[in-house]
Chain A
Amino acid sequence: MRTVTVVGASLAGLYAARELRAQGFDGRLVVVGEEPHAPYDRPPLSKGFLTGGAGEETLALGDAEETDELAAEWLLGVRARGLDVRGRTVLLDDGRTVPTDGVVIATGARARRLPGAVPAGVHTLRTLEEARDLRGALTAGPCHVVVIGGGFIGAETASSCAALGHDVTVVEAAPLPLAGHLGERLAAACAALHDRGGVRLLTGTGVRELHGRRASVTPAAGHRGRDTVAAVELSDGRVLPADVVVVGIGAVPNTEWLAGSDLAVDDGVLCDDGCVTRLPQVVAVGDVARAGGVRSEHWTSATQQPAVAVRNLLAGATVDTTRPVPYFWSDQYGTRIQFAGRRGDGDTVRITDGALDEDGFLAVFERAGRTTAALAVGRSRPFTRVRRELLSAQRGLAPV
């Protein structure tokens, strides 16, 4: 392979570029990224970056020395708009084409938005620009914040807004946030964190309408004529005053650019559990990849998949597969939530440390006498042990 093009210059794309070089690829390496920025880390955007503790300079994923060593051509600020498999080219929005032998798809996901036009003051949180906008809106003094969606990003955003002294309400359509991820009992324990952090959680209700008000002063450039959000009307009729609305209703994989490429796309790029698509010269990694039937949206998957994907890409066939123990963390209300493993609906839950109504706990999920998953709230140390055991069991070794 003489040229490999990585499309998407974020976490998974950077790790893929590193792996290509680490695994001995010494040909031409091109990295295409729609964002104008060098790769940066997203998790802090809803945490320390929002509260002001972590500045932009702390977000960089690489450094100058490494960038030199990678000897890649960085085409930043330009979107790939197509993949011509037969012609072996990546087509760029500005008309340029990149002839290539291999492709790593790492285009991630974007924040899902509410349908239709929305007033100003309604935010999503995925990119640095979105985070800057939201941070700016939160520094104008205490205000009413409504967070739509009680998932991890919604919960972290609510926590950060509360830490900044705002009046915060989280609206969740399901009867309980995260119940699908954690099961009802533990989801309830996590939902209780909102209350302890002084944030209202309203569940079982959707959003009917966002009410705006005419900006009384001259509208800011770009918002000309656009109303500013004033209230959120819920489907049960309640009306919540709102100066800032954050929509945290999930992410959509960025696959549109692959239309017409022959690749199979269905909520992500379909690939085998070695991250190889239908075509051996095209692999997919990170939030955009549906590998072995699962699309995971976690930092750790985006950093682990590239090693396997690149090995297979360079081999021209699936010679290795990922054997992940899914893992993610979330920081909320001064405590750290960590989850690892694969929980099934019938699994029993055992609290092995702390208690659900205490300041923290470790919960272990079990099926047929085996540990399937673990959830920790403020219990990093015992969690690390269980996670290790899950990893050894997955590798077929005796648990340590």
Chain B
Amino acid sequence: MIPVCRLEDLPAGEAVRVETSPPIAVFNADGELYAIDDTCSHQDASLSEGWLEGCLVECPLHAASFDLRTGRPTCLPARRPVRTHRVTVEDDVVHLHLAAEEGTAA
């Protein structure tokens, strides 16, 4: 479990990039928090810098769009999903639970 930031520092419509390896992007989509791998599965771009609309984020480089709930691309040029991760809020702090750690840690 990784503390990310205070909830108030991630307002609706914003994203933050966590410098894990590989990096992870945490989004506040109209009040719902989501986390996915930050690097686009198409080429090399940071999805936390993309355009957030509803539950979709559009890649800032070639406009592939990913569903934050599933990590799946909804259009080309991306074909492969990105991993999703669990996010919780404890004491007003946003926490990230890495997908690979699920069940082992925490």
Contacts and interface: CB of A to CB of B under 8 A. Distances in A.
Interface string B37-77: 00000011110111100000000111100000000000011
B60 A380 contact: yes
A381 B60 contact: yes
A25 B103 CA distance: 49
A165 to B, nearest CB: 22
Contacts of B6: none
A381 B43 contact: no
B46 A380 contact: yes
Nearest to B50: A384
Majority DSSP secondary structure for residues of B touching A:
loop
Contacts of A63: 79
Contacts of A338: 60
A329 interface: yes
B43 A44 contact: yes
Contacts of B46: 380
B43 A383 contact: no
Contact of A300 (B44, B62, B76, B79): B62
B49 A380 contact: yes
A186 to B, nearest CB: 20
B38 to A, nearest CB: 12
Contacts of B60: 338, 380-381, 383-384
A380 B51 contact: no
Contacts of A44: 43
Nearest to A376: B60
A207 B84 CA distance: 53
A66 to B, nearest CB: 8
A329 B43 CA distance: 13
A28 B62 CA distance: 30
Contact of B49 (A300, A303, A381): A381
A388 B51 contact: yes
Contacts of B76: 18
Interface of B: 43-46, 48-51, 60-63, 76-77, 79
Interface of A: 18, 44, 48, 61, 63, 299-300, 303, 329, 336, 338, 380-381, 383-385, 388
17 contacts: A63-B79, A300-B62, A303-B77, A329-B61, A336-B61, A338-B60, A380-B45, A380-B60, A380-B61, A381-B48, A381-B49, A383-B60, A384-B49, A384-B50, A384-B60, A385-B51, A388-B51
